[in-house]
Amino acid sequence: MSNLQEEMEIRDLYVEVKGNRVLKGLNLQVREGERHILIGPNASGKSTLAFTIMGFPEYKIAQGEIRFRGELLNNLPIDKRAKMGITLAFQSPPKVNINFAEFIEEIEERFNHSADISEFARDIEHFKRRNLNDGFSGGEKKRSELVQILAMRPKFIILDEIDSGVDIDSLKLMSKVLDRRKESMLIISHYRHILDYLRVDKAHILGFGKILVSGKAQKILNGIERYGYKGYLKELGICKECPLKECVLIQ
């Protein structure tokens, strides 16, 4: 047994969305302070996992359990999970009719913590006047997401495609801030280049609603880089078990 505590522990998780089973027996453990990257093709269920951990009611757990620091999350409402320190930076946050600066203040008040926006926005004043995600550029949306979750005294950070739709400068800036943090992280991504700026411990490939491969981040991402999903999974001998016609990876 390691002396490091399991932060997030997901066992045999089956999740249904609008009657469709998206996750089918997913297992994942993230220990304290670890950073994991979850990759997989489109529609493999990456965001579904993020929303299920966060507790969105439309994502129904049919089987299995999610525990955070030993506590069962399955039936806890979203806000309770947020207050436990589970945070999610959304891939596409919705536009909300609330002034950005006022919203940050509301979060700060709730978590008795002050957010440092200076690092994220060179144009803070401009940012402050606008409504949440209203007319934000791709990079602004992601930076605003980070400001929000860092104001929440997070313990567990889920980053849903923080690297998509942003320019390289934004990505560098955000990675620099994140790299200093000690919280455990689950990074959902399509791409490997976030690894150039952010230390990541483990990687998992998601497919068919479960984790197909787990291992050292560098090794797995190098493998995908070299062979592609299809080739890499073949190389590992995983695809042999798969009935080819339902395979989303190998087409």
List interacting residues with another protein (CB under 8 A): 51, 54, 56-58, 77-79, 81-83, 87-88, 90, 93-94, 96-98, 103, 106-107, 110-111, 131, 148, 152
Spatial separation of the C-alpha atoms in residues 110 and 243, rounded to whole Å: 50
Cα distances (angstroms) measured from residue 100 to each of 4, 116, 123, 129, 166: 38, 14, 13, 7, 20
As measured in angstroms, the least distance from the Cβ of 169 to another protein is 26
Nearest CB to another protein, comparing residues 129 and 190: 129
Spatial separation of the C-alpha atoms in residues 35 and 23, rounded to whole Å: 22
As measured in angstroms, the least distance from the Cβ of 164 to another protein is 18
Question: In this structure, are strands 86-89 and 156-160 parallel, antiparallel, or unpaired?
Answer: parallel
Nearest CB to another protein, comparing residues 83 and 234: 83
Nearest CB to another protein, comparing residues 162 and 212: 162
Nearest CB to another protein, comparing residues 71 and 79: 79
Closest CA to 143 of 133, 153, 131: 133
* Residue 11, both tokens: 């066992």
As measured in angstroms, the least distance from the Cβ of 116 to another protein is 17
Nearest CB to another protein, comparing residues 66 and 82: 82
Spatial separation of the C-alpha atoms in residues 146 and 159, rounded to whole Å: 9
As measured in angstroms, the least distance from the Cβ of 115 to another protein is 11
As measured in angstroms, the least distance from the Cβ of 78 to another protein is 4
SS3 95: coil
